[in-house]
């Protein structure tokens, strides 16, 4: 990626800095790394606030974060890399690779689930975090991939398969553990652990130096915090918070340091903002050297047709949501913008029409994922980048 000097005028740059500093001053986030690329050039970068509030360790561009759902597009791209090589088909039933993974509908039937349905979260699976205590996911002891359970990937899928599907595959969008299931498929296809598969087909070809499933250098890892008044609280281990309509979200920050924790394809990786930007820019710019151009473009296209929207004005591609109606989404982003984030406090988007990619990694969930900070930053970027 090339650097263009003065790509954003000083007055405009200050609006992006202001959005970041305001969130820190208002004690909505503790620290952040923000990178903006325009037409292939890194035009803005900032490391602001603290990576560890208690020791006053400053945030740095090289700070490593728990990725949570930033893992999803990376693992999705790994799946598509194997599709490009003819080793997988998106129309394969998951049972071709995982013959014992046969979750049932409430009526007891076990419908076929395809890899495409797993990639697009139309498989009928769900997340435990959205379910009330006592639900089937809780009773089965399913892991959401970033909690404290030290079980194997195979065991988690065995538990997941005992819970009923929420819908017939292909008939509804529901955010889910589908990418964790695909992680197990990748292990079977490549006959090696998921971290090695991702490294072989995505991380190493792109030169992602710090993108892994466990932190090699704990001293570089940002301390995670969670929304609270008067300031975010340092996460415990585990750290459990209410979520949605009666659900609970449970974090285990130590998971990033524990090789015994199974490699979650939906939320288990760690890495830097720079690695994230490099990956997203590769997808925006045609996929080289990991994907064919048409395959990379497919990640940023709506793949769920007219199914109920994940969010107003959006569809869903491979690895993230896709803006189909900016007015309904209440965003200045162009139609076709691909975006998502992570519950440890991250957001990103790729606007292909504007050749614009923005990565904002914070150490504060969930403000950094879908709070005021994300919209303030987005708007400041669009005001600044011409």
Q: Residue 93: CA atoms inside 13 Å, Cβ hemisphere, count? A: 12
Token pair in block for residue 117: 């349905």
Question: Is position 143 annotated as part of the catalytic site?
Answer: no
Burial class for 5, CB neighbours closer than 10 Å (0-12, 13-18, 19+): exposed
Rounded Cα distance between 65 and 55, Å, is: 17
Among residues 37, 68, 69, 123, which one is catalytic? 69
Distance of alpha carbon 147 from alpha carbon 169, whole angstroms: 26
CA distance 324 to 326: 6
Is 226:241 a contact under the CB 8 Å cutoff? yes
Please give the Cα distance from 130 to 124 (Å, whole number): 14
Lookup: tokens for 302: 């709506």
| Residue environment code for 331-351, b if the CB has 16+ CB neighbours within 10 A, otherwise e | bebeebbbbbbbbbbbbbbbb
Q: What are the structure tokens assigned to 254, written together?
A: 């130590």
Q: How far is CA 70 from CA 141, 169, 276, in A?
A: 24, 24, 8
- Which residues are known catalytic residues? 69
């Amino acid at each position: 990626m090339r650097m263009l000097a003065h790509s954003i005028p000083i007055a405009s740059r200050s609006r992006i800095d202001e959005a970041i500093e305001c969130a820190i001053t208002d004690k909505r986030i503790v620290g952040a790394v923000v990178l903006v690329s325009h037409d292939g050039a890194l035009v803005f970068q900032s490391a602001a606030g603290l990576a560890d509030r208690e020791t006053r360790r400053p945030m740095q561009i090289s700070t490593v974060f728990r990725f949570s759902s930033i893992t999803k597009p990376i693992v999705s791209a790994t799946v598509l890399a194997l599709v490009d090589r003819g080793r997988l088909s998106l129309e394969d039933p998951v049972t071709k690779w995982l013959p014992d993974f046969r979750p049932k509908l409430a009526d007891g039937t076990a419908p076929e689930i395809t890899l495409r349905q797993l990639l697009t979260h139309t498989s009928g699976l769900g997340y435990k975090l959205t379910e009330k205590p006592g639900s089937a996911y809780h009773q089965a002891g399913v892991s959401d991939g970033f909690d404290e359970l030290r079980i194997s990937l195979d065991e988690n899928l065995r538990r997941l398969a005992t819970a009923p599907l929420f819908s017939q595959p292909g008939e509804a969008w529901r955010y889910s553990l589908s990418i964790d299931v695909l992680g197990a498929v990748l292990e079977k296809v490549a006959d090696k652990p998921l971290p090695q598969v991702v490294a072989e087909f995505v991380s190493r070809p792109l030169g992602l130096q710090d993108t892994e499933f466990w932190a090699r250098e704990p001293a570089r890892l940002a301390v995670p915090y969670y929304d609270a008044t008067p300031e975010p609280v340092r996460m415990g281990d585990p750290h459990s918070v209410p979520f949605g309509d009666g659900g609970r979200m449970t974090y285990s920050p130590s998971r990033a340091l524990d090789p015994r924790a199974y490699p979650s394809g939906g939320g288990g990786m760690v890495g830097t903002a720079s690695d994230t930007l490099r990956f997203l820019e590769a997808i925006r710019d045609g996929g080289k050297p990991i994907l064919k151009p048409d395959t990379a473009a497919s990640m940023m296209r709506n793949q769920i047709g007219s199914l109920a929207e994940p969010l107003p004005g959006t569809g869903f591609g491979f690895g993230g949501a896709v803006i189909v109606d900016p007015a309904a989404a209440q965003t200045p982003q162009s139609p076709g913008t691909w975006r998502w984030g992570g519950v440890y406090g991250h957001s990103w988007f790729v606007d292909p029409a504007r050749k614009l990619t923005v990565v904002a990694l914070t150490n504060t969930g969930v403000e950094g994922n879908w709070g005021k900070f994300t919209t303030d930053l987005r708007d400041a970027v669009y005001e600044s980048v011409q």
